[in-house]
Chain A
Amino acid sequence: MDFTFTETQGMLRDTLRRFLADRYDFDSRQAMLRSEKGHDPAIWASLATELGILGAALPEAQGGFGGGPVDTMVLMEEFGRAIAVEPYVPSVVIAAQALLAAGADADTLVPAIIAGDAVVAAGFYEAQGRYNPADVRTTARADGSGWTLNGHKPVVIAGPRATHYLVSARTSGDQRDRDGISLFLVAADSPGIVRRDYPTVDGFMASELYFEQARAGPQALVGQEGRALPLVEQLIDHATVALCAEATGAMRRLHELTLDYARQRKQFGRAIADFQVIQHRLVDMFMEVEQAASMTLMATLRLDDPERARWVSQAKAKVNRGARALGQAAVQIHGGIGITTELAAGHYFKRLSIIETQYGDTDWHMARVEAAL
């Protein structure tokens, strides 16, 4: 057993933390969110080229550093600290990994993802299926010169800025069959993709995608036809753990902000941090942060475990509960100012609340834990 970070991982953390502190402070972030695109394209470009960190967790053969999930954990905690609205999870954690898993033919896009030129958004979930990735109504039909897709993916994070979409579609079978699901990588400007863009409550931009006789070439199929569900589940688990790391970073920062605020805010002639009832609440928040960090580490190190589903779901369920408890406590200790947009605290609370709903809510994950009892 070994719990030490490599020197590279330590450098990754320091580099990204400095960069985000410098370029992604609260005011800069708010300005980005209010801009026309809802983000600053220069940030992603800098992460790709100036810092060169988008490939940290990817193989060297494709231009990465040869790291793995621990490197992703390190980066995601920092993104969480800054409540960054960057597409690292869909583009790097999900899409790059999907392309690598699918084999040599499909991975020509990976270097472009690492270089920041390609941004991929993921569409695995559908309106009728809640968190069940096997519930796929979107169809893909092979025809002479490629594929024709029809269907609806309502919440695709980073959709507006994506150059490509990685979507699941049914090539055979019934709506909830485990067999018959295939993955497709399609250019965002493919004919027949109708997009409605919108902001999310936590500051991201997303798209509702309609595939209306959308055309894709024969090379759009990623992996084996009809056999993509295990890969989709694996990708979702990796994304889930990355989100746990993001939540951990956000929770740690929100705890710090709340601690600072409680020290400054005076009522009854003294700092509210002097009151034991506030102190114990701050301690409970501290314990949630530490447990979230522990669960994130645990699941990160067990992504190749035969019981992956059990460990990932334990982690997300625990982090979800912790994120809610900590977020609510932070707002409560801030008082009225906590429910305004003026301080960063409320924005962390918003992000943590939405993380709870992404890649499986607490009930979804507890059901998987129960299945593994």
Chain B
Amino acid sequence: MDLAFSPQELAFRDEVRTFIAENYPANLRGKQDEGEELGREDMLSWHRVLARKGWVAPAWPREYGGPGWTATQRYIFSEELARADTVPILPFGINMVGPVIYTFGTPEQKARFLPGILSGDAWWCQGYSEPGAGSDLASLRTRAERDGDHYIVNGQKTWTTLAQHADWGFFLVRTDPTAKPQEGISFLLIDMKSPGITVKPIITLGGEHEVNEVWLDNVRVPVDNRIHEENKGWTCAKFLLAHERTGIAGVARSKRGIERLKGIASEQPGNDGQPLIANPFFRRKVAELETDLTALEFTELRTLAGEAAGRGPGPESSLLKIKGTEIQQRITELVLEAAGHYAAPYFRQFPANDLVGSNEYPIGPDWAHRAAPTYFNARKTSIYGGSNEIQRNIIAKMVLGL
């Protein structure tokens, strides 16, 4: 048992740190500092830099383009990314559909899709949830009917994140309506430019256009785009959910978030002339948050050590999802509290916003106009990726055997 990094690991950390410092796009840093909305190319620019370096998919096996790192190296890498406050790499290609394709896909499918996922040339979105199928995902009704070497797909997906930018989507569709719900589902890759696809924005509480409805009207999808066997899509879905959950703890990002919160609370005045961070009630909340994050961090490290010892990302990762998202939400709550009066002024940040008469520049400190929208937005974290209640069901069944 030893917490210290080896000399090789320390050298790796320095290499990562130097690479980020020298290669992070300067214009992206500027937009982040100004709190500007990031467009498609902004979000992809850092992805492309990492892809050229061979570092964009840390968890992928080397044969598919991963860097072949140890669990400790992956941990160091994510710590360094968070420390430098880089834009997150979008999960839909790298963390979600990529592992499904290299695990369940044919050699042709791997050759066709994996390079675009790594390079960032293909932007992916996730067609899972439906208006009638949220936590009960297996009740989904989007229908795919065979027509020769194509499927004809009809239905509606929702909460499709950043589908407005997507080139491709991975969809769960019903191919056998007579089977038990989990046994009649297939996993299809659909070109988002296919005729019959309509993407409609959903505006969330902070004014963001982040999620969408995706309507499918007689969309023709080649059978070659199906991953795994027909009616085996649920296997892919479960596999993907487990993968989605491991990264979801977000420890490194939350560490960075707490550092930022402490900085804010040191500058904001409290009620007595002292900085807010000196307020014993506020200070206690920050200390508890930091304590809970340490518990999460070491639970994740124990899970990673278990994976390195050959135990896969198991149902314990549901714990990481629950506690990780709770902490992410609490950070946004405390930033909102720290904003005080300045939580209220509205700043038109997103073009899609429908409110009129908003401020042209922020009232109050630069960070404060983001406090409320970020808090509102973070409520999604305990809902997506299998709600935290569903995660409890998973632990109850898979870990406790209930």
Shortest CB–CB separation between residue B124 and chain A, in angstroms? 32
Query: A293-B302, A370-B284 are known contacts. Are A259 and B400 too (CB-CB below 8 A)?
Result: yes
> Is A314 within 8 A of B323, CB to CB?
no
Shortest CB–CB separation between residue A11 and chain B, in angstroms? 15
Cα–Cα, bound, A280→B288 (Å): 23
Does B287 have its Cβ within 8 Å of any Cβ on chain A?
A: yes
Cα–Cα, bound, A5→B297 (Å): 19
Does A114 have its Cβ within 8 Å of any Cβ on chain B?
A: no
Within A289-339, which residues are at the interface with B (CB < 8 Å)?
290-291, 293-295, 297-298, 300-302, 311, 314, 317-318
Q: Which residue of B lies closest to A1 (CB)?
A: B72
Measured between beta carbons, the chain A residues less than 8 angstroms from B396 are: 276, 279-280, 282-283
Selected contact of A294 from candidates B3, B9, B302, B389, CB within 8 Å: B302
> Number of contacting residues on B, CB 8 A?
41
- Could you list 23 A-B pairs, sorted by A, with CB under 8 Å? A1-B2, A1-B4, A1-B9, A2-B2, A3-B305, A70-B1, A282-B396, A286-B319, A286-B400, A287-B395, A294-B296, A294-B298, A295-B294, A295-B295, A297-B1, A298-B295, A298-B297, A318-B291, A366-B287, A369-B290, A370-B280, A373-B283, A373-B287
Does A273 have its Cβ within 8 Å of any Cβ on chain B?
A: yes
Cα–Cα, bound, A301→B393 (Å): 33
Shortest CB–CB separation between residue A210 and chain B, in angstroms? 37
Selected contact of B287 from candidates A4, A282, A298, A370, CB within 8 Å: A370
> Is B287 within 8 A of A369, CB to CB?
yes
> Is A290 within 8 A of B299, CB to CB?
yes
> Is A298 within 8 A of B400, CB to CB?
no
Does B316 have its Cβ within 8 Å of any Cβ on chain A?
A: yes
Selected contact of A286 from candidates B262, B287, B399, CB within 8 Å: B399
Measured between beta carbons, the chain B residues less than 8 angstroms from A373 are: 262, 277, 283, 286-287, 290
Query: A282-B402, A293-B302, A317-B291 are known contacts. Are A4 and B1 too (CB-CB below 8 A)?
Result: yes
Does B392 have its Cβ within 8 Å of any Cβ on chain A?
A: yes
Measured between beta carbons, the chain A residues less than 8 angstroms from B352 are: none
Does B56 have its Cβ within 8 Å of any Cβ on chain A?
A: no
Cα–Cα, bound, A301→B9 (Å): 18
Shortest CB–CB separation between residue A324 and chain B, in angstroms? 14
Does B229 have its Cβ within 8 Å of any Cβ on chain A?
A: no
Shortest CB–CB separation between residue A56 and chain B, in angstroms? 14
Within A339-373, which residues are at the interface with B (CB < 8 Å)?
366, 369-370, 373
Q: Which residue of A lies closest to B399 (CB)?
A: A286
Cα–Cα, bound, A311→B3 (Å): 13
Within A1-43, which residues are at the interface with B (CB < 8 Å)?
1-5
Cα–Cα, bound, A279→B292 (Å): 23
Shortest CB–CB separation between residue A197 and chain B, in angstroms? 37
Shortest CB–CB separation between residue B297 and chain A, in angstroms? 8
The contact string, 1 if C-beta is below 8 Å from chain B, for chain A 249-293, is: 000000000010001000000000110100110111011001101
> Is A279 within 8 A of B392, CB to CB?
yes
Top 10 A-B pairs, shortest CB-CB distance: A3-B305, A294-B298, A279-B396, A291-B295, A294-B299, A298-B298, A369-B287, A283-B392, A314-B291, A301-B3
Query: A273-B402, A286-B395, A287-B322 are known contacts. Are A3 and B389 too (CB-CB below 8 A)?
Result: no
> Is A2 within 8 A of B1, CB to CB?
yes
Shortest CB–CB separation between residue A368 and chain B, in angstroms? 9
Does B5 have its Cβ within 8 Å of any Cβ on chain A?
A: yes
Does B301 have its Cβ within 8 Å of any Cβ on chain A?
A: yes
Cα–Cα, bound, A4→B297 (Å): 17
Measured between beta carbons, the chain B residues less than 8 angstroms from A5 are: 1
Does B355 have its Cβ within 8 Å of any Cβ on chain A?
A: no
Selected contact of A279 from candidates B4, B287, B322, B393, CB within 8 Å: B393
Cα–Cα, bound, A293→B300 (Å): 12
Cα–Cα, bound, A146→B392 (Å): 63
Measured between beta carbons, the chain A residues less than 8 angstroms from B302 are: 3, 290, 293-294, 297
Selected contact of B294 from candidates A70, A274, A314, CB within 8 Å: A314
Shortest CB–CB separation between residue B321 and chain A, in angstroms? 11
Measured between beta carbons, the chain A residues less than 8 angstroms from B291 are: 314, 317-318, 366, 369
Measured between beta carbons, the chain A residues less than 8 angstroms from B3 are: 1, 301-302
